[in-house]
Protein backbone atom coordinates (compact mmCIF):
# COMPACT_ATOMS: atom_id res chain seq x y z
CA UNK A 1 0.00 0.00 0.00
CA UNK A 2 2.81 2.40 0.90
CA UNK A 3 4.65 1.55 -2.33
CA UNK A 4 1.48 2.20 -4.33
CA UNK A 5 0.95 5.54 -2.55
CA UNK A 6 4.56 6.57 -3.17
CA UNK A 7 4.36 5.69 -6.87
CA UNK A 8 1.05 7.49 -7.18
CA UNK A 9 2.42 10.63 -5.53
CA UNK A 10 5.48 10.58 -7.78
CA UNK A 11 3.26 10.13 -10.83
CA UNK A 12 0.95 12.94 -9.69
CA UNK A 13 3.84 15.32 -9.07
CA UNK A 14 5.29 14.60 -12.53
CA UNK A 15 1.91 15.28 -14.13
CA UNK A 16 1.59 18.58 -12.27
CA UNK A 17 5.14 19.60 -13.23
CA UNK A 18 4.53 18.74 -16.87
CA UNK A 19 1.26 20.67 -16.90
CA UNK A 20 2.94 23.70 -15.33
CA UNK A 21 5.70 23.55 -17.93
CA UNK A 22 3.21 23.36 -20.77
CA UNK A 23 1.17 26.19 -19.30
CA UNK A 24 4.24 28.37 -18.91
CA UNK A 25 5.42 27.60 -22.44
CA UNK A 26 2.01 28.25 -23.93
CA UNK A 27 1.69 31.61 -22.20
CA UNK A 28 5.26 32.76 -22.82
CA UNK A 29 5.95 35.74 -25.05
CA UNK A 30 7.45 35.11 -28.47
CA UNK A 31 10.63 37.01 -27.51
CA UNK A 32 12.04 38.27 -24.21
CA UNK A 33 14.93 40.74 -24.09
CA UNK A 34 17.86 40.21 -21.74
CA UNK A 35 19.40 43.67 -22.07
CA UNK A 36 17.99 47.16 -22.20
CA UNK A 37 18.28 49.24 -25.33
CA UNK A 38 16.60 50.51 -28.45
CA UNK A 39 14.44 47.88 -30.12
CA UNK A 40 15.24 47.80 -33.84
CA UNK A 41 13.17 45.98 -36.45
CA UNK A 42 14.26 45.41 -40.05
CA UNK A 43 12.24 44.10 -42.97
CA UNK A 44 14.81 41.83 -44.63
CA UNK A 45 12.77 40.35 -47.48
CA UNK A 46 9.35 39.20 -48.54
CA UNK A 47 7.65 36.90 -51.03
CA UNK A 48 4.04 36.45 -51.98
CA UNK A 49 1.18 37.65 -54.13
CA UNK A 50 0.36 41.34 -54.31
CA UNK A 51 -0.90 42.45 -50.90
CA UNK A 52 -0.26 44.73 -47.94
CA UNK A 53 1.12 43.23 -44.73
CA UNK A 54 1.00 45.22 -41.49
CA UNK A 55 3.35 44.15 -38.70
CA UNK A 56 3.39 45.51 -35.19
CA UNK A 57 3.96 44.96 -31.48
CA UNK A 58 1.33 43.83 -29.00
CA UNK A 59 -2.13 42.32 -29.20
CA UNK A 60 -4.51 45.02 -30.44
CA UNK A 61 -8.22 44.45 -30.81
CA UNK A 62 -9.28 43.79 -34.38
CA UNK A 63 -11.59 46.82 -34.15
CA UNK A 64 -8.69 49.25 -33.63
CA UNK A 65 -7.52 51.79 -36.17
CA UNK A 66 -3.88 51.91 -37.33
CA UNK A 67 -3.40 55.07 -35.25
CA UNK A 68 -4.41 53.08 -32.16
CA UNK A 69 -1.98 50.22 -32.78
CA UNK A 70 1.77 49.99 -32.23
CA UNK A 71 2.54 49.57 -35.92
CA UNK A 72 6.16 48.92 -36.85
CA UNK A 73 5.79 48.95 -40.62
CA UNK A 74 3.57 47.96 -43.52
CA UNK A 75 5.15 45.81 -46.22
CA UNK A 76 3.79 45.89 -49.75
CA UNK A 77 4.32 42.64 -51.62
CA UNK A 78 4.16 42.82 -55.39
CA UNK A 79 4.47 39.87 -57.76
CA UNK A 80 6.30 37.59 -55.34
CA UNK A 81 8.75 40.15 -53.99
CA UNK A 82 9.00 42.88 -51.36
CA UNK A 83 8.23 46.12 -53.18
CA UNK A 84 8.04 48.91 -50.60
CA UNK A 85 8.06 49.31 -46.81
CA UNK A 86 6.32 52.13 -44.94
CA UNK A 87 7.64 54.13 -43.13
CA UNK A 88 11.04 52.48 -43.79
CA UNK A 89 12.72 49.08 -43.86
CA UNK A 90 14.46 49.78 -40.53
CA UNK A 91 12.50 51.16 -37.61
CA UNK A 92 13.71 52.15 -34.14
CA UNK A 93 10.86 51.54 -31.70
CA UNK A 94 12.63 53.28 -28.83
CA UNK A 95 14.00 52.09 -25.51
CA UNK A 96 12.85 48.77 -24.05
CA UNK A 97 14.19 47.64 -20.64
CA UNK A 98 15.75 44.24 -20.01
CA UNK A 99 13.14 41.56 -19.48
CA UNK A 100 10.65 43.08 -21.95
CA UNK A 101 8.19 40.45 -23.19
CA UNK A 102 7.57 40.96 -26.90
CA UNK A 103 4.55 39.69 -28.75
CA UNK A 104 3.59 40.69 -32.28
CA UNK A 105 0.62 40.85 -34.59
CA UNK A 106 0.33 40.68 -38.37
CA UNK A 107 -2.49 41.74 -40.69
CA UNK A 108 -2.86 40.65 -44.30
CA UNK A 109 -5.30 42.16 -46.80
CA UNK A 110 -4.89 39.30 -49.28
CA UNK A 111 -8.47 38.58 -50.43
CA UNK A 112 -9.91 39.87 -47.18
CA UNK A 113 -8.68 40.97 -43.77
CA UNK A 114 -6.78 38.37 -41.76
CA UNK A 115 -5.24 38.89 -38.33
CA UNK A 116 -2.62 36.81 -36.50
CA UNK A 117 -1.26 37.17 -32.97
CA UNK A 118 1.77 35.52 -31.37
CA UNK A 119 0.23 35.94 -27.90
CA UNK A 120 -2.68 33.59 -28.59
CA UNK A 121 -2.16 30.19 -26.98
CA UNK A 122 -3.92 26.86 -26.74
CA UNK A 123 -7.48 26.74 -27.96
CA UNK A 124 -7.45 30.49 -28.58
CA UNK A 125 -5.10 30.06 -31.53
CA UNK A 126 -6.66 30.59 -34.93
CA UNK A 127 -5.45 29.09 -38.23
CA UNK A 128 -3.87 32.48 -38.99
CA UNK A 129 -2.02 32.52 -35.64
CA UNK A 130 -0.62 29.06 -36.34
CA UNK A 131 0.35 29.89 -39.93
CA UNK A 132 2.22 33.08 -39.05
CA UNK A 133 3.82 32.40 -35.68
CA UNK A 134 4.61 28.69 -35.88
CA UNK A 135 6.03 26.21 -38.36
CA UNK A 136 3.69 23.18 -38.30
CA UNK A 137 5.75 21.08 -40.70
CA UNK A 138 9.08 22.12 -39.12
CA UNK A 139 10.48 23.06 -42.53
CA UNK A 140 12.82 25.55 -40.83
CA UNK A 141 14.27 22.87 -38.59
CA UNK A 142 13.69 24.97 -35.48
CA UNK A 143 11.40 22.56 -33.67
CA UNK A 144 8.25 24.19 -35.00
CA UNK A 145 9.38 27.69 -34.08
CA UNK A 146 9.68 30.59 -36.54
CA UNK A 147 12.36 32.30 -34.44
CA UNK A 148 15.96 32.01 -35.60
CA UNK A 149 18.45 33.13 -32.96
CA UNK A 150 21.39 35.11 -34.34
CA UNK A 151 22.87 36.13 -31.01
CA UNK A 152 22.03 37.75 -27.70
CA UNK A 153 18.82 39.75 -28.20
CA UNK A 154 19.10 39.27 -31.96
CA UNK A 155 16.53 37.24 -33.88
CA UNK A 156 15.06 36.69 -37.34
CA UNK A 157 11.35 35.88 -37.66
CA UNK A 158 10.45 33.64 -40.61
CA UNK A 159 6.77 34.40 -41.11
CA UNK A 160 3.97 33.44 -43.42
CA UNK A 161 1.23 36.01 -43.82
CA UNK A 162 -2.07 35.73 -41.97
CA UNK A 163 -3.96 34.64 -45.12
CA UNK A 164 -1.57 31.83 -46.05
CA UNK A 165 -3.12 29.15 -43.82
CA UNK A 166 -5.23 28.07 -46.78
CA UNK A 167 -2.35 27.99 -49.25
CA UNK A 168 1.12 27.06 -47.98
CA UNK A 169 3.56 26.79 -45.09
CA UNK A 170 6.80 28.08 -46.57
CA UNK A 171 7.62 30.63 -43.83
CA UNK A 172 9.00 33.20 -46.27
CA UNK A 173 6.35 35.85 -46.90
CA UNK A 174 7.96 38.12 -44.30
CA UNK A 175 11.51 37.89 -42.94
CA UNK A 176 11.93 40.35 -40.10
CA UNK A 177 14.98 40.91 -37.94
CA UNK A 178 14.44 42.03 -34.36
CA UNK A 179 17.36 43.11 -32.20
CA UNK A 180 18.29 45.28 -29.25
CA UNK A 181 20.82 48.05 -29.72
CA UNK A 182 22.25 48.57 -26.22
CA UNK A 183 21.99 52.08 -24.84
CA UNK A 184 24.81 53.14 -22.51
CA UNK A 185 23.36 55.52 -19.97
CA UNK A 186 26.45 57.16 -18.46
CA UNK A 187 26.00 58.80 -15.06
CA UNK A 188 28.56 61.57 -14.29
CA UNK A 189 31.00 60.83 -11.48
CA UNK A 190 30.32 62.76 -8.26
CA UNK A 191 33.41 64.93 -8.66
CA UNK A 192 32.51 65.79 -12.26
CA UNK A 193 28.93 66.59 -11.26
CA UNK A 194 30.19 68.85 -8.43
CA UNK A 195 32.46 70.74 -10.81
CA UNK A 196 29.57 71.29 -13.23
CA UNK A 197 27.36 72.64 -10.44
CA UNK A 198 30.16 74.86 -9.13
CA UNK A 199 30.76 76.22 -12.63
CA UNK A 200 27.10 77.07 -13.10
CA UNK A 201 26.99 78.77 -9.69
CA UNK A 202 30.08 80.81 -10.53
CA UNK A 203 28.57 81.82 -13.86
CA UNK A 204 25.43 83.06 -12.12
CA UNK A 205 27.45 85.04 -9.57
CA UNK A 206 29.49 86.56 -12.35
CA UNK A 207 26.37 87.69 -14.17
CA UNK A 208 25.00 89.25 -10.96
CA UNK A 209 28.26 91.16 -10.45
CA UNK A 210 28.15 92.57 -13.96
CA UNK A 211 24.51 93.55 -13.55
CA UNK A 212 25.35 95.39 -10.28
Whether residue 99 is contained in a domain is answered as yes
Whether residue 92 is contained in a domain is answered as yes
How far apart are the two ends of the chain, measured CA to CA in Å? 99
Count of structural domains, the chain: 1
Q: Would you state the pLDDT for residue 27?
A: 53
Q: What is the pLDDT of residues 75-128, one digit of tens each?
A: 999 988 899 999 999 999 999 999 999 999 999 999 999 999 999 988 889 999
Q: Which residue did the predictor score with more confidence, 183 or 95?
A: 95
Whether residue 109 is contained in a domain is answered as yes
Whether residue 43 is contained in a domain is answered as yes
Q: Which domain holds residue 77?
A: 31-181
Whether residue 58 is contained in a domain is answered as yes
Whether residue 189 is contained in a domain is answered as no
Whether residue 7 is contained in a domain is answered as no
Mean pLDDT along residues 34-50: 94
Tell me the C-alpha distance between 188 and 195, whole Å.
11
Whether residue 194 is contained in a domain is answered as no
Residue 6 clears pLDDT 70, i.e. is over it? no
Amino acid sequence: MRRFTLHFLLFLSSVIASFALLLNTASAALLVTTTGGNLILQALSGQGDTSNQEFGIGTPAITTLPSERQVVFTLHLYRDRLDTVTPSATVNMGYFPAGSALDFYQISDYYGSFWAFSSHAGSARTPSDIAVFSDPDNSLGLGGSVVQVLGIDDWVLHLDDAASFGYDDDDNELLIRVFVDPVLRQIPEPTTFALVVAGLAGLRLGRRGVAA
